[in-house]
Structure 1
């Protein structure tokens, strides 16, 4: 993925999150807190685990590749949102992680 494409993904992600914030204000009077966003992410991360188990026929649920695909995408979206809300540049964080990890294998 090139840099411009990743920037576009980040921008689209943050725009969608802002739209959800507007819905939260309509329905609950306030936006979700950072903690509520983190809990929602952890819930979706758990659902990735269940969908993987289903995919491997290790969970008694009809396998749904579409649901797994959706949850994997949603988890990336949440990571972008959480990075933004904590003031972390996700591109820089990912670059640092990749470089540090690659150096472990040199």
Structure 2
């Protein structure tokens, strides 16, 4: 899937959650509430990474790690949508900036040793 296809699917699922929340609770999550949900997902991801590294026991194993990574990606895609961020352009720009910053700090031959 392309990033645009992922974005469309993420927004489609997000719209379903909005419909469900309107039906069950009479309201949808605000952008701030959605962000707080994402923070919780990142915390869950941290625990699963620790488990993958053998530092913690967490049920679910590799499947849970894969699920949480996908969940976090979904949240990033939805947040970008809800804030009107062109994530593809922002990613390219940020990677270009990081490349320049890192390259400027490496020795001329690129070998840090």
TM more than 0.5:
yes
Shift of 1:25: 0.5
User: Per the alignment, in what secondary structure is the counterpart of residue 82 of structure 1?
Assistant: helix
Residue of structure 1 aligned with 2:71, choices 52, 71, 74: 74
Match of 2:51 in 1: 54
> Structure 1 length as normaliser, TM-score?
0.91
Say yes or no: does 1:25 pair with 2:22.
yes
Q: Which residue of 1 aligns with 2:100?
A: 103
Report how far residue 90 of structure 1 moved: 1.0
The alignment yields a C-alpha RMSD, in angstroms, of 1.3
Following superposition, the deviation at residue 105 of structure 1 comes to 2.4
Which structure is higher in RCO with an 8 Å CA cutoff and minimum separation 6? 2
| Structure whose CA Rg is larger | 2
Task: Kindly provide the CA deviation profile for residues 37-94 of structure 1, in whole angstroms up to 9, marking residues without a partner as x.
Answer: 0001000001110001111121133461000000001101100101111111111111
1:54·1:63 contact (CA, 8 Å) conserved in 2?
A: no
Instruction: Work out which of the residue numbers 54, 79, 92 in structure 1 matches 2:89.
Output: 92
Moved more, 42-51 or 90-99: 90-99
Task: List alignment gaps of at least 5 residues for structure 2.
Answer: 104-113
Unaligned runs of 5+ in 1: none
Q: Extract structure 1 runs of 4+ deviating beyond 3 A.
A: none
Number of residue pairs the alignment of both structures matches: 103
